[in-house]
Amino acid sequence: MSFAEAIQEIKQASLNERLKALDELWESVVEEENSVPISDWQAAIIQERLRDYDNNPTAGEPWSKVKNRILK
């Protein structure tokens, strides 16, 4: 079966089956996350954010507070 055929078959599945397929695909991506290269600009942004955190670790807010503010 080709990739296109597999996609068509998944599209015809029930919502529950499609969600299971999505979960399986996502898990397979997560298992290989370290093998996905990042670009130089992405690495630079990560380094910048890590430096900012190292210089002032209390500057941010916990996710729970941010989430509550967004959901209000």
Within a 10 A sphere around the Cβ of 20, how many other Cβ atoms?
13
Residue with tokens 């996609």: 7
The pLDDT tens digits of the residues spanning 4-60 come to: 999 999 999 999 999 999 999 999 988 887 888 899 999 999 999 999 999 999 998
- CA 69 from chain center: how many Å? 22
pTM of the model: 0.48
Q: Hey, where are the domains in the chain?
A: 3-71
